[in-house]
Structure 1
Amino acid sequence: MSLSRATRSEGPLRNLSAYLQIIRGRLRIALTYRQNALFMLAVLIVQIFILRKVWTALYGDAGVVKGVALADVLVYLTIANLQNWAMQDSAVGSYLYSLVREGRIAFDILRPAGFVQQMLAHLVGGTLSMVLFAAAALPLVALVGTLGPPASLTAFGYWLPSLLVAFGISMLLNLIVSLGAFWTTELGAFSMLYTLVSQFLAGVLVPLYFFPDWLRAVAELLPFQAMAFTPVAIYGGQLADGEAVRAIGVQLLWVALLAGTVRLIWSRAHHRIVVQGG
């Protein structure tokens, strides 16, 4: 009995080296084909610049709207867009689609490392590469956007775990979208729709406190706001102390729900695998 317990306890760590190798491989791919990431980073910088100009014009001479100062909104938008950009790794969806289409997915499934865990490792590597590019571009981002310190040390302390949980939510949502490759021959349009809807409802383009009441209520029922609005609002002090703790609790609940959804989808998806010629 003790041996079986030891074996089960070692199970999750048994393939750790394989997952680390996948993460390193994804990092190498991103650095090798860095032109694509640099182009996407240029698009992000332009978007931050446009948002700064638009919101500055919208505020006009009003220093505060709905209790929020323009400077705070600009910091929010800059950080929210940086976060969102770093977490949106669409390459895994294309990779999974190619595995299914070409029949190579059979090799990934037969490996000792779990298939879903392999995809999560790809997502971790992709996000880390995006974070590296974003960190290198911070001086330029600060020039076209607005960066600022957290509202307080307490806010920073809450922001860090909230950001990590937001990363987990983003990975799980990306994986759910990517698993659609088992049911459709084209992921491009669906991925674009997901990006548009998730950006808006996450509060990346418009902070949730400017939403109409009914739309904010809808957004708060969905997981997207937990990816961007929650951590950035904590950073800026819009969610403080008790509100921040409750918001992180909601984030953790979404992680559990989305993890269960991934498990359910995968239990259906692997029954649909058909490898041509075999």
Structure 2
Amino acid sequence: MEWRGKRTSRNIEDRRSGGSSRGGLPGIRIGGGRGAGPLGIVGTIVVLLIGAYFGVDLSGLTGSGGSFSAPTQQTAQSGPNTIDDDEEAFVATILGETEQVWTQIFAASGQRYTPTTLVLYRGGTGSACGMAQSAMGPFYCPGDRRVYLDTDFFRVMEQQLNAGGEFANAYVIAHEVAHHVQNLTGTLGEVNAQRARVSERESNALSVRIELQADCYAGVWAHAAARELALTDADIREALNTAARIGDDALQRSAGGRVVPDSFTHGTSEQRQDWFFRGYRAGDPAQCDTFAARSL
């Protein structure tokens, strides 16, 4: 994968120097509940693994909980000439690539793509979906149309989940941007309205379809960006390995518990790999209709 020297996005908010502390954990709403809360690439079970990495006991936070709204800090956006470090440069480049690809895809359908803003933070920060914390992993908040990312998560992926690599990290970003695409197309609003009216089991099943579609859209992005980023088979294997490591079944086994399919909110390892590769192979968002699929 070759990302250096490419166009970088200006839609970055860097809150790392003035982020809030890691305190104030009670009351955080972790993904997996019903409604229009944050949508992340990992399910609630991985919170325990991440908590262990950061040295924080998060065992009490895996229920639905309430939400805690903290004020969003005012920060200047970073641009191509104000990037401070290699980490931000990587994120800004991948975000820029997603903007380029989705702008073209939307334009082909006579629509206009409005980019998301990606918030870089360290420890914790405010969002319209409640308090963003490192232990939550990356997520997209429909309320403010922002992606939240503490890049320490990339080290968690490598050291705790054995899912490291630059393109593995790029896949994570592309998945969260895919939730923004779902928001712009109205999919998130429609599905979240359905989830609010059904049982927890049915709500989880709808969540799985949302997440698998986001995986597929990430694959569509990879297909379109392959030449620009000089992607190799090894890069795609990194993404597929990551998809396998963060499947609900794999995460539940890693946490030492039994596998409970009715509790899945993101899909199995096999499903996540399959839908990412389906999008990558086809390069067509129309092939990502998980809601019409009889089987996943």
- TM-score above 0.5, yes or no: no
TM-score scaled to structure 2, two decimals? Answer: 0.30
Q: Which has the higher contact order (CA 8 A, sep 6+)?
A: 1
